[in-house]
Structure 1
């Protein structure tokens, strides 16, 4: 199982207090969510607003995608939620 992240799109999900992004394994698309707790682990001083959370995601995209790859490697799911412990 190998996942890639060719789509740079990401979006803020206010209800989940997370940033959503997508990975692909062949023709299959998988949704990932990284919670505010995990983003705060990457930058403890951020404000909790959309712009700040997206900025932390953008600044740490490689690290977040690596954690997403590890989560994906544990087994296929329809979506994945990355927590602070995953970072």
Structure 2
């Protein structure tokens, strides 16, 4: 099976300062976190982004984020991943 993202929901996790979303590989649910720093513009890296800005950036970058998540998942199948700025280079 391949990783799919049929559920468009996402939420902000304050404790992790990241946006959480889910992928599915058949019946298996995989949790992903995208760190706020990975969602920040290059000029605003290092500045704490608000929840609304993180969610808006996630929505804008969603296709790219899903592609990066698929690459991360292909390197080893786990139940949870954290995507960082270095994953998007």
Instruction: Please give the TM-score of this superposition, normalised by the length of structure 2.
Output: 0.89
Q: Which runs of 4+ in 1 moved over 4 A?
A: none
* Cross-structure match for 1:36: 36
Structure 2 residue matching 1:51: 3-state secondary structure: helix
> How many equivalent residue pairs?
85
Report deviation, 1:83.
Answer: 0.6
Report deviation, 1:45.
Answer: 5.2
Structure 2: any 5+ residue segments left out of the alignment?
Answer: none
Instruction: Please give the TM-score of this superposition, normalised by the length of structure 1.
Output: 0.91
Q: Cα RMSD over matched residues?
A: 1.3
Distance 1:45 1:7 in 2: 31
Distance 2:42 2:20 in 1: 20
Distance 1:8 1:78 in 2: 18
Structure 1: any 5+ residue segments left out of the alignment?
Answer: none
Query: Within 5 A, what are the aligned runs for 1:38-53?
Result: 38-40=38-40, 43-44=41-42, 48-53=49-54
Report deviation, 1:17.
Answer: 0.3
